[in-house]
Amino acid sequence: MKNSAAILIFFTLTACVSAQNNSELYSKGMKYKSTYQYEDGLYIFQSLLKSDSSNTSYLVNASYFYSKAGFRQTGEDRKMKYYHTAAYLAEKALDADSNLAEAHYVYALALGRINEFAGSKQKIANARLIKSHADLAIKLNPRHAGAYHILGRWHRTVAGFNMMEKIAINSLFGGVPEGGSYDAAIEAFQNAIKSEPHYILHYYELALTYYERNKDLKDKAMAKAWLKKAMELPNLTPEDPDTKEKCARLLKNLE
């Protein structure tokens, strides 16, 4: 009996220590997320998943970091390995809880990354899924900046198809995804900025949308204004210097 009690106490203490360690690791991982340290955050959540592969919070955060860190890898094969892992983890989270806004967001994010290298037919199929999951993320969390950003890019891409592209998509791949307008893209990026006003990429993408729409002189003025706002913001993410260079190039085209 004494041996049994000692064994029980040992495993109880081990479980408590493990839970405490996981809690500390999780806090560290979320700090890395808030400071855009993608590789460090990925390492943390890879470790956490080894201790509990069914934890939905671990799954969605690992998926997020795989997509973000994957973008910084070199070579298509390596990038795609990261992106497909991100999609797989997001699907696992959705299977566990389909009411998680973050799970829908990271799935849409992973599919968007995959579409950078996918064939035309796969891109169209993924485009429908991206729109669906971004919409669900926003429905579950109306202030989700990342989901609004994805939705903005989706609307701008579809709105930008020319007539020949639409004919080709309709004949070869079952039709252009429904919806898609510059107005909807602008609204989505504005909502992203409201929820995440420090994130430079939102401003650049909004400016680019006005630039691509080019409906009148007001669009040109709005593009300039948002580019200048973007360039005034402090750098926070690893991508910000590159984004500001894009802003400068686009601003030069508008001068």
Per-residue confidence (pLDDT) for residue 3, from 0 to 100: 54
Q: Which CATH superfamily is domain 37-117 in?
A: Tetratricopeptide repeat domain (1.25.40.10)
Contacts 24+ apart (CB under 8 A), 59-62: 59/89, 59/90, 59/92, 59/93, 59/96, 59/103, 60/89, 60/90, 60/93, 60/100, 60/102, 60/103, 60/106, 61/29, 61/30, 61/33, 62/89
pLDDT tens digits, one per residue of 28-75: 999 999 999 999 999 999 999 999 999 999 999 999 999 999 999 999
Of the candidates 177, 180, 188, the residue with the CA atom closest to the CA atom of residue 150: 188
Residue given tokens 């389909």 in the structure block: 98
CB contact at 8 A, 131 and 154: yes
Residue given tokens 């210097």 in the structure block: 241
Query: What is the C-alpha to C-alpha distance for residues 204 and 223, in angstroms, rounded to an integer?
Result: 9
Is residue 141 over pLDDT 70?
yes
pTM of the shown model = 0.88
Per-residue confidence (pLDDT) for residue 75, from 0 to 100: 94
Residue given tokens 């984004």 in the structure block: 243
CB contact at 8 A, 251 and 224: yes
Query: What is the C-alpha to C-alpha distance for residues 74 and 76, in angstroms, rounded to an integer?
Result: 7
CB contact at 8 A, 72 and 56: no
* Domain residue limits, the chain: 37-117
Report which DSSP code applies to 235.
P
Report which DSSP code applies to 215.
-
CA of residue 136 relative to chain centroid, distance = 14
Per-residue confidence (pLDDT) for residue 17, from 0 to 100: 38
pLDDT tens digits, one per residue of 182-207: 999 999 999 999 999 999 999 999 99
